[in-house]
């Protein structure tokens, strides 16, 4: 077989909590997994600072350090971890054909997709400058750090409404910046927001700039799209809740997804519509999107891949 073609039992695509957990379980089951990290090795957590809600870290841990530990544990059991991205796939036959970096072909008996999702951002320079230092795309992850403080959140859908009410329990004041004159969220969620006394909804407004002292956020400048009037909100935290985009475009045409692109798995399983291809983590979870739930589905995917291979083997032997 050419050096540019390799056959593996288990290929894991992506390297966040889901991918590394799948690798730990697959390696311990002697599936000799090969994991390609993608362009962001370690996934979204490498772009966060303090992680305080993952069990086993009573004092919290930095996101990049946590992912390093996940990686070391996967490697300890023999996972072959490689930096690279998947450029195309062909799931028309088994073994599944996956092309990496446009040059190397992997033939995989099982594939575990753990490519995650990326938060959508407003595209402001100041937003990226203060990302992790007062700017966040996850209220559940980071709201605790702003206890008793004033914060702003931008978004108009159900997720934004849910995160605003979550923040309202922790923070003194929550400004909710809505770009249009009305919400996109369901009536029930809008009602919850409007009945929360410490949430102030600011309609028809766009964020111009996140203001800070070079280290942390101390305000956000917004502009009313009708009157062009500008206003500076005195806040220490800024949350972006305008949605996520699952990193699944490469699988289009092969794997069933919903209208946004989240992979559809069989209920109670990580199995996709293609036999021997499993999906875990944020690539298939649009509801919880937490490191702990991603790790849980990573475990499920590896166990299901192991069972799938064992069943195939027993059929061959019979």
User: Residues 30, 80, 101, 141: which is the catalytic one?
Assistant: 141
Task: Give me the residue label for tokens 């990573």.
Answer: 298
Q: How far is CA 317 from the centre of its chain?
A: 40
User: Residues 30, 90, 109, 138: which is the catalytic one?
Assistant: 138
DSSP state, residue 217:
E
Phi, psi of 306 (to 5 degrees): -60, -45
Q: Is 150 a catalytic residue?
A: no
**Where would I find the H helices in the chain?**
17-28, 63-76, 125-129, 139-142, 158-170, 187-194, 291-317
Around 144, how many Cα atoms within 13 Å sit in the side-chain half-sphere? 7
Q: Is 138 a catalytic residue?
A: yes
Non-local CB neighbours of 195 within 8 Å, separated by 6+ positions: none
User: Residues 142, 150, 282, 285: which is the catalytic one?
Assistant: 142
CA distance 64 to 48: 7
Q: Is 171 a catalytic residue?
A: no
Supply the residues annotated as catalytic.
138, 141-142
């Amino acid at each position: 077989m050419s050096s540019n073609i390799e056959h593996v039992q288990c290929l894991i695509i992506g390297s966040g909590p889901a991918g590394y957990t799948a690798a730990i379980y697959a390696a311990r089951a002697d599936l000799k997994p090969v994991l390609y990290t993608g362009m962001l090795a370690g996934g979204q957590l490498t772009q966060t600072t303090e992680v305080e809600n993952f069990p086993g870290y009573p004092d919290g841990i930095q996101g990049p350090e946590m992912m390093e530990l996940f990686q070391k544990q996967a490697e300890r059991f023999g996972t072959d971890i490689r930096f690279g991205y998947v450029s195309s796939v062909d799931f028309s036959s088994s073994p599944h054909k996956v092309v990496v970096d446009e040059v190397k072909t992997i033939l995989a008996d099982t594939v575990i997709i753990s490519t995650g999702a990326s938060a959508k951002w407003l595209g402001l320079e100041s937003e990226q400058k203060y990302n992790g230092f007062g700017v966040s795309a996850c209220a559940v992850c980071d709201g605790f750090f702003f206890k008793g403080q004033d914060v702003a959140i931008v978004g108009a859908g159900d997720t934004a409404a849910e995160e605003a009410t979550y923040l309202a329990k922790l923070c003194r004041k929550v400004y909710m910046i809505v770009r249009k004159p009305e919400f996109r969220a369901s009536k029930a969620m809008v009602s919850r927001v409007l009945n929360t006394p410490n949430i102030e909804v600011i309609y028809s407004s766009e964020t111009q700039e996140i203001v800070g002292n070079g280290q942390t956020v101390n305000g956000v400048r917004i502009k009313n799209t009708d009157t062009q009037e500008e206003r500076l909100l005195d806040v220490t935290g800024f949350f972006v809740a305008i949605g996520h985009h699952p990193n699944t475009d490469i699988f289009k045409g092969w794997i069933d997804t919903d209208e946004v692109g989240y992979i559809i798995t069989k209920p109670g399983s990580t199995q996709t519509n293609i036999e021997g291809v499993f999906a875990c983590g944020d690539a298939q979870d649009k509801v919880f999107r937490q490191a702990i739930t991603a790790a849980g589905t990573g475990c499920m995917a590896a166990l299901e891949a192991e069972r799938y291979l064992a069943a195939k083997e027993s059929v061959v032997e019979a």
